[in-house]
Structure 1
């Protein structure tokens, strides 16, 4: 699956296309990042998620949703934003490798300012963005498999994405982990509108 995704993304991206992947399982991100890393030497990844996803393996596999960020880190630099659930193994890895990470806090006024500063300091000129919808607060996005309270709200994630788009070239992105049966229909519309917004930010001229 990862090889198939990588080949498809590389084919489109090599022709100057912006790729937007939509899906459930977060592991599709690995294939896309592999493709873009071949095209951009300075690629970095903005990984927006409630979970660190830095486990070396989980439930017997190195390729599940709990290890996606770990596999990406093996390819290119990584910045984590929105984190509010992390294991001891992952925390040790973050500290040991010095991975830039913003843990979403209980002080809303501090979150966006800190997240924008972190991304401004660490993202390269060419950026791939991966958004796990559980980064959003369950009050607006309950249709995910592993919801976590205390997440990002609509205008917060838009402010972050807008700031990134003004600093860097967004080469591609994904929005994943939508599970429609787990929430109301409004969640699918929210995911679609987020996709629409991010396409706009990535292709703006100014």
Structure 2
């Protein structure tokens, strides 16, 4: 990977103590942080998220001191005795307010990781970092997106900005290689109005509320995701209930719980090839006792654990 895309300051703590690397390695997973995306004017969201990826690294590593010990969620060590290799590439070189350059760096780094035959795992930053992340998957013949979020993010613009965190899935719908979209965890009130809900439904997105997800069953929802092409899993931290994920910008009671999200992701990966994984909207300034940071880290761990137990994980 082009070293100019990575921040100059190396991270003090890698995710789970995994090896640090300045470039992606084929057949592996590449973990990267991207703090800054496309900010809305003077919203202050860039500063809110400052240090989020590093907070996740510290919290999950402290909670998983012995990564080679038995992981009861997987009935064995997380990485399955070396069946999966993963590297921490550090944080991408993003800057508060440098919207266009931030997007260029995120998209270019993701492309480089994919070109090396590695699976990118992105820790954000607000939801706008996912727009350039998703654009980098245009080498996929067909991409199916599973978004786990409290909000549908289908605004065309907020003010004059079309690439901010309220427009992530609207922009994804415009990518010709995105063939389906399943949005799970929707609840309460967000930026969506009648026209955004109608646009999502007309496009063909499956909107699944928390109540619907629990009534129908997470496995059943995952089963309906097409099997051709690849799947991209995108998680917004506010999809989870604030009792376990308080460190978010938009608190909304009644969300999914950790085991529900991990069960949904595991079911979605059955018989499907993972293109990439992103998790965003963690605000460390609002976290309590590193609770959200640890949950975010554990969700990444579940992706690693599932990949370590299948033979077709290569992109």
User: TM-score scaled by structure 2?
Assistant: 0.61
2-structure distance, mates of 1:10, 1:203: 23
Question: Residues 223 and 268 of structure 2 are in contact (CA less than 8 Å); yes or no, is this contact kept in structure 1?
Answer: no
Unaligned runs of 5+ in 2: 1-101
* TM-superposed deviation, 1:166: 1.1
* TM-superposed deviation, 1:117: 3.6
Deviates most, 105-114 or 144-153: 105-114
Aligned length: 203
Question: Residues 128 and 172 of structure 1 are in contact (CA less than 8 Å); yes or no, is this contact kept in structure 2?
Answer: yes
Corresponding residue for 1:42?
Answer: 142
Corresponding residue for 1:181?
Answer: 285
Unaligned runs of 5+ in 1: none
- Does residue 18 of structure 1 match 2:18? no
- When you count helix as a share of all residues, which structure comes out higher? 1
1:2-27 deviation line (CA, Å, top 9, x unaligned): 22211111111111111111012111
Corresponding residue for 2:154?
Answer: 54
CA pair 7-127 structure 1, distance change in 2 beyond 3 A: same
* TM-superposed deviation, 1:200: 2.1
CA pair 97-107 structure 1, distance change in 2 beyond 3 A: closer
Question: Residues 238 and 252 of structure 2 are in contact (CA less than 8 Å); yes or no, is this contact kept in structure 1?
Answer: yes
Question: Residues 141 and 229 of structure 2 are in contact (CA less than 8 Å); yes or no, is this contact kept in structure 1?
Answer: no
Corresponding residue for 2:186?
Answer: 83
Question: Residues 113 and 120 of structure 2 are in contact (CA less than 8 Å); yes or no, is this contact kept in structure 1?
Answer: yes
1-structure distance, mates of 2:213, 2:112: 43
Corresponding residue for 1:74?
Answer: 174
1:17-41 deviation line (CA, Å, top 9, x unaligned): 111110121111121211112x211
- Does residue 199 of structure 1 match 2:300? no
Return the match for 1:96 from 202, 208, 218.
202
For the pair shown, the structure with the greater C-alpha radius of gyration is 2
Deviates most, 123-132 or 20-29: 123-132
- Does residue 65 of structure 1 match 2:165? yes
Q: Which runs of 4+ in 1 moved over 3 A?
A: 106-111, 122-125
- Please list, as runs of the form range in 1=range in 2, the aligned pairs for 1:113-128 lying within 5 A after superposition: 113-119=219-225, 122=226, 124-128=228-232
2-structure distance, mates of 1:130, 1:54: 15
User: TM-score scaled by structure 1?
Assistant: 0.90
Corresponding residue for 2:265?
Answer: 161
* TM-superposed deviation, 1:134: 0.5
2-structure distance, mates of 1:104, 1:53: 16
Output the aligned Cα RMSD. Answer: 1.8
Local SS of the residue matching 1:65: coil
Question: Residues 151 and 186 of structure 2 are in contact (CA less than 8 Å); yes or no, is this contact kept in structure 1?
Answer: yes
1:109-131 deviation line (CA, Å, top 9, x unaligned): 53424432443xx4643111111
